[in-house]
Structure 1
Amino acid sequence: MTTATKPATKHINDLHFEHQVWLNNLRFYKDEIAIFEHRLEDVVTRNTDREFLAQVEHFQNQYIREKEVIDEL
């Protein structure tokens, strides 16, 4: 008796489906970032405090980085 396990295999249709799910999720996240960026622009027009603007810049940089990562994937 052997206890060897059968290697896990996936059907190509399963892989295609997973790929499509990933792509749809990435598109969704990219759209969400765009919404957040527009909302941040609205907030900036109403607040001009230097400390607040520094925090806004942090978020803008984070959004830029997130979009770069999504584009690489």
Structure 2
Amino acid sequence: MEKEIVYISNLHFEEEVWRRQLYCWQDELIFFYNRLSEMATRWISKEELAKLEYFQNRFTRHDGAIEDLLEAIQVHEKRISRQYTEESTKSDNYLISKHLGFRSKMESQQKIYTDLKKEFFLYFTQNQ
């Protein structure tokens, strides 16, 4: 059976897409935080403020996850760059395994964030 070749340039491209997606999420979180601040000035009941705090905590956790992913991608990118300059343009099993792990983390975080946004939008459309 022939071994599949994975090119480092393809891994790098996917990581760049992830990095841009993470930066986009960070920018989007600014809008969500601003919206929470606006709503906090209009709503005064304890239940409503508790829900705002719930969303703020969830967005803060997501922001932390973004930072963790950006740091992990940066470390992995350095490994890829080292291999690219030292050896060849083809990746080894360790790098592929790490890359697939990052892909899985990105997919999980994307689902978590998408679900959170849906919950946020649903809540505010029902409580305007």
TM-score normalised over the length of structure 2 = 0.51
Identical-pair percentage? 36
1:2-13 correspondence runs (5 A):
4=1, 6-13=2-9
The amino acid across from 2:64 in the alignment is E
Deviations 1:5-60 (A, max 9, x none): x3332212111111100000000111111110111101111111110000001001
In 2: Cα distance, 1:10 partner to 1:32 partner: 33
- For the pair 1:25 / 2:16, whether they are aligned, the reply is no
Once superposed, which parts of structure 1, at least 4 consecutive aligned residues long, lie more than 4 Å away? none
- For the pair 1:45 / 2:41, whether they are aligned, the reply is yes
- Answer with 8-17 or 45-54: which moved more: 8-17
Matching residue of 1:61: 57
Structure having the higher helix fraction is 2
C-alpha RMSD of the superposition: 1.0
In 1: Cα distance, 2:4 partner to 2:51 partner: 47
Q: Where do 5+ consecutive residues of structure 1 fail to align?
A: none
The 3-state SS of whatever aligns with 2:3 is: coil
Matching residue of 1:14: 10
In 1: Cα distance, 2:18 partner to 2:48 partner: 35
